[in-house]
Amino acid sequence: MLIIRPICQSDFAALRYIAEASGHGFTSLPVNDEVLTAKINRAEASFNKPVSKPYDESYLFVMEDTDTGEVVGTCGIEGAVGMEDAFYHYRLGTEVYHSAQIGVRNEVETLTLCHDYTGAAEMCTLFLRKDYRKSTNGRLLSRCRFLFLAQHPSRFGETVIAEMRGVSDASGNSPFYGWLQQHFLGIDFIEADYLSGLGQKAFMAEMMPRSPVYVCMLPEAAQRVIGEVHTNTRPALSLLQAEGFRCRGYVDIFDGGPTVECTLQEIRAVRDSRLLTVLVGPMDDNGDTYIVANTQVADFRATAVRLNVTAESNHITLSPAFAQALRVQAGQQVRILPI
């Protein structure tokens, strides 16, 4: 059985393996023992903290194969970004130049450094081990977070965003970053990405261009990848687009990848999820597959279960094994969502 649960200290080795396997561009998990330990500590504190208004909490989950005891994936949600560290984006805009005298009108696309997403919740840190990328495992890992959002909305910003990994080559070099390195930062993409993952962002404020950047003046290779996603990220983007996430003209400052957003209450999975009362007994597994999650925070559990439920159903029957895995008892509620 695959179970989603909050990360804990004993998951450090698994998290470090994921950080190594995820490769360049996966900024949220740098290969640094001190940072990874701090991420686990911060997540544990966030899960155990009473929250009425989001600030800087971080909720990091892992997917565990209970048959082997191995952690095979991870996913996360930031409660409100930019509250402690600056959270930078480029905002795509347009400047219009018109002269009636000479009969010329030009529209020029610009990139402006901004902090517009400060306070938004962020879907982040999604990674599934290659040998588990099959069936509905990826959907379970990604979409279980929507059940947590739906159950605990007061812990998150009203807008939910996700930064999509931009285009880079096998060596981790970004076509978009090349011009920035040459004219402003002076360090390579991998180092800048790593420092950002460590939370050491002072160099951005010191070295990034302060005035709008004219897109037409960038190298063609950089222009082509603005708003484009890495090949490995396309499935994740498709899942989010199906939930109602859209790009509103914001891109990553290093690789030009798009950031997508949706209001929390308008996320399709948040709207479609349902609370049902648990009965414990023989299961009717002739129906569809659902993600089923308990309503807890620090003791959150979610898994995929085949259920025979209808729109009129107000309860579900779980076997003793599933009820135990989800840490629920008869009479308690669970939140469900078609996978």
HSE at residue 288, side-chain half, CA atoms within 13 A, is: 9
CB 296 within 8 A of CB 327: yes
Give the Cα-Cα-Cα angle 280, 281, 282 (nearest 5 degrees): 145
89 as an active site residue: the answer is: no
Q: Return d(Cα 142, Cα 337) in angstroms, integer.
A: 12
CA 141 to chain centre: 11
Residue 104 one-letter amino acid: V
> From the candidates 24, 183, 230, 315, which is the catalytic residue?
230
Distance CA 275, CA 268 (A): 15
Secondary structure letter of residue 83 according to DSSP? S
* Residue partners of 257: CB distance under 8 A and separation at least 6: 163, 164, 165, 166, 167, 227, 228, 229, 230, 233, 251
CA distance 258 to 263: 17
What is the H or E stretch that residue 196 is in? helix 189-198
Positions marked catalytic: 230
